[in-house]
């Protein structure tokens, strides 16, 4: 997968076609699929600790076994090949390859990723590596975690190890996946590991994640060949005011600041936005938090920006004396993840919901991509996660029909296609997720996969959506709707 601009679609091609060279992929995360929690020298991450803490995860589920990808990766890669995937976005378990978060790597841990990459390359599937998808080694959390500046330095050392070990066979490297979740859900609302609820720690974590990203980009660039690409993946909130009122516009501004611009500001523009600093000045001393040279480190150029999207964020200013509604989609907690903006209320965009109670609204993806393209026209984009959970089940005939997911994917892929037609430089799309897996604090109660996993046997059953997606990849176009022949 390379970040050269795909060729424009010929005018004679069907209107639903995608550009030549468009990357079609699927994604997973280490703790959600690998299992083998204590094998090969791996030590606990914060998600091991969190999931083993009673009351944290639904039904007491853990990622100890997950989808057993560690042992079944060859079968899973064969599934990818059968589906025609061009790329596989996976994350590396930091505590599998560097168990304490410090010092030399463990060869047994590295060997798993070497084998996985060999299998992918042999199958013609491009490996796309994410260095961090929320599973901080527990020893680093015990030393202070992301609110502690030293964690950023440890991450840069880890990035250097991985680049030196796998840089000859991985051409696309993502530093962090959704640092907003790591900081604001992990240290603010506590619904993600490590489960802390400290507003000041939340903002310190956000800054140190930004710093870790920038230092990792420097470490990667010092080792990788010039042809390699670097990236970060952000779950940018497509924020909308509930009404046209000035109060709701103010609510949207605040959530955009603490939900989006806390990362895009320093990473893409080299500065934290002034309104964010003002909104949160009573919580943290930004002057002492941000050291000289930090913003230059954080704003090192990247080659592509990963964009994750599931649902829009609709907000209003809460009426005094009335509790804020909790439809922010990020899990129930008495503590708000929206540090400095606890008084903002959240609403569903509509009543067409997934099993996560997330509103289905593909227009938000189109708006997000076109707005990013206008604000940063020089930066290529990738949709690195998009998908939906529904209540899937195996039929008496042994198949899994998921027409709701097919409709969801069709609508969102059409939104991507329209964004490209409107000038957005979108290079590819990664469906979330390849497999049903451990869905964080929801455990195994939610299924996002396009491949069904029977957790009692680990049997894989491609859902109807998997076959549909394979057809989209083969066509490089969306299939016909309502009898139209579009490719």
Catalytic residues: 178, 385
Beta strands at 459-462 and 451-454: parallel, antiparallel or unpaired? antiparallel
For tokens 């929690």, what's the residue? 37
Find the angle CA(65)-CA(83)-CA(365) to the nearest 5 degrees: 85
Q: Is 97 helix (H, G, I), strand (E, B) or coil?
A: helix
Residue 3 to residue 145: CA distance in whole angstroms: 33
Q: Is the dihedral of CA 138, 144, 150, 151 positive or negative?
A: positive
Give every CB contact of residue 401 below 8 A, 6+ residues apart in sequence: 395, 463, 464
Buried b (16+ CB within 10 A) or exposed e, 34-45: bbbbeebbbbbb
Q: Is the dihedral of CA 385, 390, 393, 395 positive or negative?
A: negative
Residue closest to 98 by CA, chosen among 136, 67, 68? 136
Contact assessment for residue 7 and residue 427, using Cβ atoms and an 8 Å cutoff: no
Q: Is the dihedral of CA 200, 202, 204, 207 positive or negative?
A: negative
* Paired residues of 341 in beta bridges: none
Other C-beta atoms lying within 10 Å of the C-beta of residue 340: 21
Residue closest to 110 by CA, chosen among 121, 123, 99? 99
Residue 249: exposed, middle, or buried by beta-carbon count in 10 A (0-12, 13-18, 19+)? middle
Beta strands at 172-177 and 126-132: parallel, antiparallel or unpaired? parallel
């Amino acid at each position: 997968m390379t970040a050269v601009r795909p060729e424009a679609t010929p005018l004679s091609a069907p209107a639903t076609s995608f550009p030549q060279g468009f990357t079609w992929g699927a994604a997973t995360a280490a703790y959600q699929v690998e299992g083998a929690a204590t094998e090969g020298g791996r030590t606990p991450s914060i998600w091991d600790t969190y999931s083993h803490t009673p009351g944290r995860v639904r039904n007491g589920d853990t990622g100890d076994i997950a989808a057993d990808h560690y042992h079944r990766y060859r079968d899973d890669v064969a599934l990818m090949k059968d589906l025609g995937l061009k790329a596989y976005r996976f994350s590396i378990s930091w505590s599998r390859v560097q168990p304490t978060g410090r010092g030399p790597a463990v060869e047994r841990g590295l060997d798993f990723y070497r084998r996985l990459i060999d299998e992918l390359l042999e199958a013609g599937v491009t490996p796309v590596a994410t260095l961090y998808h929320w599973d901080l080694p527990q020893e680093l959390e015990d030393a202070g975690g992301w609110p502690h500046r030293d964690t950023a330095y440890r991450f840069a050392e880890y990035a250097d190890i991985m680049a030196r070990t796998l840089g000859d066979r991985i051409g696309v490297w993502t530093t962090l996946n959704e640092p907003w979740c790591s900081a604001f859900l992990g240290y603010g609302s506590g619904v993600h590991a490590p489960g802390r609820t400290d507003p000041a720690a939340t903002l310190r974590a956000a800054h140190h994640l930004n710093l870790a990203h920038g230092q990792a980009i420097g470490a990667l660039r010092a080792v990788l060949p010039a042809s390699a690409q670097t990236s970060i993946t952000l779950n940018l909130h497509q924020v909308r005011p509930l009404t046209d009122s000035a109060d709701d516009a103010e609510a949207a501004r605040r959530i955009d600041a603490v939900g989006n611009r806390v990362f895009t500001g320093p990473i893409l523009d080299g500065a934290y936005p002034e309104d964010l600093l003002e909104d949160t000045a009573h919580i943290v001393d930004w002057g002492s938090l941000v050291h000289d040279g930090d913003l230059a480190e954080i704003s090192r150029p990247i080659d592509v920006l990963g964009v994750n999207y599931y649902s829009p964020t609709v907000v209003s200013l809460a009426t005094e004396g009335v509790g804020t509604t909790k439809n922010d989609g990020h899990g129930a907690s008495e503590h708000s993840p929206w540090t400095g903006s606890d008084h903002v209320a959240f609403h569903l965009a509509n009543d067409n919901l997934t099993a996560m109670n997330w509103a289905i609204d593909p227009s938000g993806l189109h708006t997000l991509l076109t707005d990013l393209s206008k604000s940063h026209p020089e930066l290529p984009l990738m949709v690195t996660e998009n998908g939906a959970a529904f209540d899937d089940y195996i039929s008496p005939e042994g198949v899994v029909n998921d027409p709701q997911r097919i409709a969801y994917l069709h609508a969102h892929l059409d939104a991507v296609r329209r964004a490209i037609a409107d000038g957005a430089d979108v290079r590819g799309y990664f469906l979330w997720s390849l497999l049903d897996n451990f869905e964080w604090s929801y455990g195994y109660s939610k299924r996002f996969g396009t491949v069904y996993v029977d957790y009692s046997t680990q049997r894989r059953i491609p859902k109807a959506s998997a076959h549909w997606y394979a057809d989209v990849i083969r066509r490089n176009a969306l299939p016909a709707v309502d009898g139209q022949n579009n490719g």
